[in-house]
Chains A and B, each alone.
Chain A
Amino acid sequence: MLEELENNYQQAAAALAAAEGREALAAWHRETLGKKGAIYLLTRNLGALSAEERPAFGRRLNEIKAELESAYDERLAQAEAAELGAQMAAGALDVSLPGRRPAHGRLHIITRTLREIYRIFGDMGFQVYRSPDVETDEMNFELLNFPHHHPARDMQDSFYTTTPGVILRTHTSAGQIRAMREYHPEPIRILLPGMCYRNEQVTTRSEMQFTQVELLAVGDDISFADLKGTLTEFARRLFGADRQTRFRASYFPFTEPSAEMDISCILCNGAGCSICKYSGWLEILGCGMVHPVVLRNGGYDPEKTFGFAAGMGPERIAILKYGIDDIRQFWANDLRFLEQF
């Protein structure tokens, strides 16, 4: 009996080793360990064994069953893994084929540039103040210390409307007086963003409409040194921490002293390249201390109140950051341009 058991065991183990695939394994399990399997059938003969032989036979039988079950489980796991592997190998993709791109929207490059400017100055306490595109000559020029027929008006060719004294603003500085009159005598830190208009030939370098952000700070204790520090901080956050700035004397009727701020070239870092025309510097904004006449027109006492103002062009900033070669692209809105940002 025991001999037969061992024999069957040897045969079953050999058959298990030979079975390939899940189906063959399942058939082996049925034939070997099932209700009509070779091992099970031996238990029917237990009655032929003596009482002394029976425990040893039973023990051995259980051992063999356990061993075969465990060997079977192992083989089955191997077979399943092999099958999955084959399946996955058959399902290999060309990973270089293009994916399905969801149609996604974007913000215009000017919105993004404006937000970057808002964020940086927002951290320094400056908030956005909006004023109208269609302005009075008084707000745009006169109260900003540009008298009628003043040569400074030549720098900004205006669009005039058929309503006398009403023009399209030539700069967002036009909102300065509005803000001062609204907030005085409180201190002010604001950004004046918006569209400006100048009667210029439209070329790759100039547009008849352009955005501008004006910066205005008014308070008891604001100096030219604060202007330099604030704008240098801005330039470093926008164009990189290692940016150098340079201030050159300039003229604007509504600031005194007035300056132009240059930054070290973002492409060559000052070494000289075609972007900076081999000067190492890029002109980025005009600025200055608010003129006493403007402070007075805004309702402040220019002997006790000081302020600075700066004006920058988001298009100019984007042009420098992304190497855009044609300013007309901003309002042409060709999707092939917009989708690059």
Chain B
Amino acid sequence: MAREVAALTDRPLRQPAYDVVMDGPPLDGRVVITTDEPDLNPRFVALLIEGVQQVPSPYWMQYRLRLAGQRPINVVVDISNYVMLEVGQPNHTFDYDVLRRRADGYAPDGPIHIHTRLPQPGETVTTLDGATRKLEPYTILVTDPAGNLSIGGIMGGRESEIGTETSNVLLEAAAWNFINIRRSANALDLHSEAAYRFGRGVPPSLALLGAKRAAELLRTLAGGTVAQGIVDAYPRPTAPVVIDLDPAYVRKLSGLDLSAGDIAALLRRLEFVVEPAGERLHVTTPDHRLDVEGPHDLVEEVCRLYHYDRIPSTLLADTLPPQRRNVLLEREERLRDLLAQLGLQEIWSYRLTGAGREARLLPGGPPDDRPYVTLSNPPAPDRNVMRHSVLSSVLDVAAANSRHAPRIALFEIGPVYLAGEDGPLPDEQSRLAIVLTGRRQGEDWTNGTPSAVDFYDLKGILDALFAALHLPVGFEATGHPSYRPGRTARLLVGERQIGVMGELHPGVARAYDLRIERDQPVLAADIDLEALLPLMPDSYKYAPLLTYPPVREDLALVVDAALPAAAVESALRAAGGALLREVALFDVYQGEQLPPGKKSLAYHLTFQAPDKTLTDADVSRQRGRILRLLEQQLGATLRG
């Protein structure tokens, strides 16, 4: 922070003094350090301070610790914490006499041997908080021949802890691989201040500075004597990062017109050592900057110091890339527009659900056995999978709204997630779901309470939708466990099924807790957009308007009650040929005026020719042909 302020304000940085007076007996031969894993534990520095007095730390230190949110404890712990905050180097204090006693058990008069290493299989450690912890194979331990002392960079051990009796302190300041510290701290669920700091990267150079600063404070504030010499295990000193920087790269990436000299001056404010090398700059990063790896990092430093707000704003002048259509998105958006125009409200719902929530769609049928994408850390037990059904999501939203809305007309277009065999990722397929229930329109003073929607309201919306898409879609009676038997249709484009629609099974409506009036139907459609979108025509032909007068004829046909109206209409159109321009059903009758098992369908037929005025003879010939063919094909008779 102080460095940033110094650089941004272009003023000198004030640092603590790192000199230490060492006037005690030599340390040499008394402490030996071995580091097994220089990649995970690059540096380990130790200093010995003898004759430390157990006095309270000075008021200024206690005051500053409190400001930083730390509780003063005793002079040794306070100095250790203070140095961590001031220098940024977490450090550890051992009771030297405890270490000595432990060492005597193995090699009396031999040096204390501190050894950092990976654990043996199954090895555990008892930490300062009293817990015994199992270790991951990558977690570094600080040990002596008698056993474990601490978990490197994370937490100290119990036995060698500083007590009220401690007068001789062995001070440790080390460097640790930050990713390994994070992994270990997470695995152990130990989140100490030291682990937090080491987990974000502390440069090895700080270990020595931190150790010296702490030793000097123990000498001056706690009356200790610092043994002569420093034990510094640093087998592979980190080489300073030197970056070859092309000023043209800086100009291109930043958009700033800076000379090599300007760039050098900015970087020097951040303690980079910059040497011109021809057109280029050789930039040596200060060793506290672990985050600077390449030229792009230097551009960031330059931009930051130059100040982002002073960088100009320009519009892209680079080559325009090839412009590509996103046809599936365009078609989805077209569907959204059409459905909204047809009176439906679009929704976007939660895509996390539970298998049990979706099972409500299939009350009597076989369960959905397609595999789900399942979360290992779900936000709630019933939100643990990615949905298989958009309809289920829409029904939940319809149910929530049914408590207050008299008319519900909803749709959602979105993905479902089918965990599949092709690789680890699921097949994300687009679906359209529609739910319609309640009143046909809002109640108002002119019409009282409007009637409830029924099957043909949804059918009409779909008819209008497919007409607008210029895509002929057939509706064929079918059965489906989610829908009411006899009121369910599958949607067909040619032979291809693109979806199912109908009146929801009353059991399903109940399972979703739809608060609807008695006997009021819930209509639903579930359409597979993976099937529909590719079939949507991009263009279609305009039909010229005819100028010769049309002739209108009414025709009421009696057919078997079970015969689908669509079969009659398509037979009519086929028989009527090109002259039959429109077929509009205006009445369906079934009752006492007809024989049982029969129904009457009454149509307005419009005949029109592109090139002449039709005569009565023309029309009656057409009509006769229609009647003859429909009788042959469907057993239809003219209603008398």
Contact = CB atoms under 8 A, between A and B. Distances in A.
B314 A199 contact: no
Contact of B324 (A102, A127, A232, A330): A127
Interface string B410-421: 100001010100
Interface string A325-341: 00000111111101100
B400 A159 contact: no
Contact of A188 (B321, B401, B424): B321
Given A98-B445, A219-B319, A249-B300, 18 more contacts: A100-B444, A102-B343, A103-B442, A105-B340, A128-B326, A148-B183, A149-B179, A162-B376, A166-B425, A195-B351, A199-B379, A223-B253, A224-B253, A224-B256, A226-B255, A229-B312, A249-B303, A292-B296
Interface of B: 178-180, 182-183, 186, 199-200, 249, 252-256, 294, 296-297, 299-300, 303-304, 308-309, 311-326, 329, 333, 336-337, 339-352, 373-379, 386, 397, 400-401, 404-405, 407-410, 415, 417, 419, 424-426, 428, 440-442, 444-447
Contacts of B183: 148-149
A189 B409 contact: no
Interface in A174-219: 183, 186-189, 195, 197, 199, 202, 208-209, 217, 219
A195 B309 CA distance: 32
B309 A247 contact: yes
Given A134-B425, A230-B316, A111 B348 contact: yes
22 contacts: A100-B447, A102-B441, A105-B346, A107-B346, A110-B348, A128-B326, A133-B428, A159-B352, A163-B373, A163-B419, A163-B424, A187-B320, A209-B352, A224-B311, A225-B255, A226-B317, A233-B315, A257-B254, A302-B296, A303-B249, A306-B252, A333-B410
Interface string A227-251: 0111011000000000000111100
A256 B315 contact: no
A331 B374 CA distance: 21
A104 B426 CA distance: 36
B253 A306 contact: yes
A223 B336 CA distance: 37
A209 B316 contact: no
Nearest 10 pairs between A and B by C-beta? A225-B255, A223-B255, A257-B300, A219-B318, A229-B313, A247-B308, A105-B340, A333-B347, A105-B344, A187-B321
Interface of A: 97-98, 100-108, 110-111, 115, 124-125, 127-130, 132-136, 147-151, 159-163, 165-166, 168, 183, 186-189, 195, 197, 199, 202, 208-209, 217, 219-226, 228-230, 232-233, 246-249, 256-259, 289, 291-292, 302-303, 306, 330-336, 338-339
Contacts of A331: 348-350
Given A133-B351, A150-B179, A249-B304, A226 B315 contact: yes
Nearest to B346: A108
A225 B308 CA distance: 9
B223 to A, nearest CB: 40
Given A127-B323, A225-B314, A229-B315, A148 B179 contact: yes
Contact of B294 (A111, A230, A292, A336): A292
Most chain B CB within a 10 A radius of its CB, from A111, A130, A258? A111
A105 B342 contact: yes
Most chain A CB within a 10 A radius of its CB, from B183, B348, B442? B348
A160 B401 contact: no
Given A130-B326, A135-B425, A159-B375, A108 B347 contact: yes
Contact of B313 (A232, A332, A335): A232
Contacts of B349: 331, 333
Nearest to B308: A247
Contact of B377 (A107, A130, A199, A219): A199
Contacts of A226: 255, 314-318
Contacts of A228: 255, 308, 311-314
Given A151-B199, A289-B296, A225 B312 contact: yes
A209 B351 contact: yes
Contacts of B442: 101, 103
Contact of B309 (A132, A246, A338): A246
A80 B405 CA distance: 50
A233 B314 CA distance: 9
A213 to B, nearest CB: 13
A331 B396 CA distance: 11
Given A151-B182, A160-B375, A199-B379, A189 B315 contact: no
A103 B424 CA distance: 45
Contacts of B401: 333-335
Contacts of A197: 352
Contacts of B336: 107, 111
Contact of B346 (A111, A135, A220, A332): A111
Contacts of A195: 351
A186 B321 CA distance: 7
Nearest to B312: A225
Contacts of B377: 159-160, 199
B351 to A, nearest CB: 6
